[in-house]
């Protein structure tokens, strides 16, 4: 787990704090409440996690309980890697048409 948190911290520090090592980026600091990551940043973070750990995050998993701090994210990724989180771990693939959610057909 410490290695995972350090990897996530390095990504967040480089991409959202532009290399600043601010004290407030503690393991439990909320990304949103502290203004560290906005919604576009969250998409970058999701892409990083999916690529780096070869897992696919389902829409239903994209909630603050799973993603809103280094600790929550590390816990979530660990569960996914162990096959324990909702939506089993799978090889990363782009969100191609086969992954798309059909929502209806024009009347």
Partner 1 sequence: MSTPVAAPPDILRIDPALETDRIVDHIRRTVFTELKRKGAVVGVSGGIDSSVVAYLCARALGKNRVLALFTPETDSSPDSLRLGRMVALALDIRSVVEDISPILKGARSYERRDDSVREVVPEYRAGYKCKIVLPNLVDADRYSLFSVVVQSPDGEIHKVRMSATASLGVVAATNCKQRVRKLMEYYYADLLQYAVAGTPNRLEYDLGFFVKNGDGSADLKPIAHLYKSQVFQLAAWLGVPAEIQERLPTTDTYSLEQSQEEFYFSLPLEKMDLCLYGRNNGVSPSDLAPVAGLSPEQIERVYGIIDSRRKAARYLHAAPVLVEEV
- Binding flag, residue 93, partner 1 (CB under 8 A): no
Instruction: Kindly state the tokens that stand for 91.
Output: 């090889």
Region of 16-24, 30-38, 72-80, 82-90 interacting with partner 1 (CB under 8 A): 30-38
Does position 21 interact with partner 1 (CB under 8 A)? The reply is no
Q: Which of 17, 29, 42, 89 binds partner 1 (CB under 8 A)?
A: 42
Stretch of 6-14, 56-64, 73-81, 84-92 contacting partner 1, by CB under 8 A:
56-64
Of 61, 54, 72, 59, the C-alpha closest to 12 is 72
Give the C-alpha separation, 100 to 13, whole Å. 32
Q: Return d(Cα 27, Cα 71) in angstroms, integer.
A: 5
- Angle formed by the axes of helices 39-53 and 70-81, to 10°? 40
**Interface residue list for partner 1 (CB under 8 A):** 32, 35, 38-44, 46-47, 59, 62-65, 67, 94-97, 99-106
């Amino acid at each position: 787990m410490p290695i995972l948190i350090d990897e996530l911290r390095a990504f967040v520090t480089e991409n959202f704090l532009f290399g600043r090592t601010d004290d407030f980026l503690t393991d439990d600091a909320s990304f949103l409440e502290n203004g560290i990551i906005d919604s576009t940043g969250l998409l970058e973070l999701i892409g990083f996690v999916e690529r780096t750990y070869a897992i696919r995050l389902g829409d239903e998993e994209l909630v603050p309980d799973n993603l809103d701090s280094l600790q929550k994210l590390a816990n979530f990724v660990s569960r996914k890697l162990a096959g324990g989180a909702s939506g089993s771990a799978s090889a990363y693939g782009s969100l191609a048409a086969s992954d798309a959610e059909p929502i209806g057909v024009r009347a």
